[in-house]
Amino acid sequence: MASPLILLTLFLLPLVQSQTPTAPAPSPTGPINLTNILITGGQFTSFLRLLNETQVLTQLPNQLNNSNQGMTLFAPTDNAFMNLPSGTLNNLSPDKKVKLVLYHVLPKFYSMDDLVTVSNPVQTQAGSEHGSLGLNFSGRANQVNVSTGVVETQINNALRKDFPLAVYVVDKVLLPLEFTEAPAPEGASTPPKGKGATAPSSPTADAGGDGSSPGTNGGGKRVDMGVGLVGGVIGLFCMVFL
């Protein structure tokens, strides 16, 4: 009776293996939670607040859903906001705040490689009307700069890099040229209240990789099914064998 058992084991082994949870494929079309992406990024409190305040946070997922081109978002760190000349945000009208946020959005998905070869200037969501408010890109793979004409900075990390949404970290707020051409803001009349008490001495960049952690597990059920199947096969095998 020993050898049939061994045979049985040998026979079943591959079957058991094939039934263990095959890495659950993260559905590429699953809902994208931008809030979650930015929270997970750990240093985007100010940007998140601005996105929320301007309602872009709620509009963007809808636009994304209705687009077959995807989108690209540049997310300035909290440091980037802290390094703005004081009062910059508070001196912006609500409309201009929206414009500023949309200037960080490209209505198309660009991989890092795409950005190297894209033809300048690239239209942003802020400038669909007159063709101003574009961004320029230069560099080579993994070393891409973005320029507004007044601000240039390197894109050095991606919070998310899979179609349909790319989210790149920038350590400067992308101020449009036309914002600085406007007459100088009158004094610091309003007390700065935009910046929360949270000045995270956060890990400098490098959360590395894309934020898309493949949803873990869901394998439990499959294991059960596997066991059931194995049991059935054992029965069958024994019947045949005897």
Ligand X SMILES: *[C@@H]1O[C@H](CO)[C@@H](O)[C@H](O)[C@H]1NC(C)=O
- Note the residues at the interface with ligand X (CB under 6 A): 31, 33, 35-36, 39, 48, 52, 61-62, 65, 120-121, 136, 138-139, 145, 147-149, 152-154, 177
Smallest separation, CB 188 to ligand X (Å): 25
Tokens of 31: 């809902």
Q: Which is nearer to ligand X, 200 or 235 (CB)?
A: 200
Q: Which is nearer to ligand X, 166 or 170 (CB)?
A: 170
Smallest separation, CB 119 to ligand X (Å): 8
Q: Which is nearer to ligand X, 16 or 147 (CB)?
A: 147
The rounded distance, in Å, linking the Cα atoms of 202 and 41 is: 10
Contact 54, 98 (CB under 8 A): yes
Smallest separation, CB 142 to ligand X (Å): 11
Q: What distance, in Å, lies between the first and last C-alpha atoms of the chain?
A: 11
Q: Which is nearer to ligand X, 9 or 83 (CB)?
A: 83
Which residue's CB atom is positioned nearest to ligand X? 149
The rounded distance, in Å, linking the Cα atoms of 119 and 163 is: 20
Contact 177, 151 (CB under 8 A): no
Cβ neighbours of residue 237 closer than 8 Å, sequence gap 6 or more:
8, 11, 12
Smallest separation, CB 34 to ligand X (Å): 8
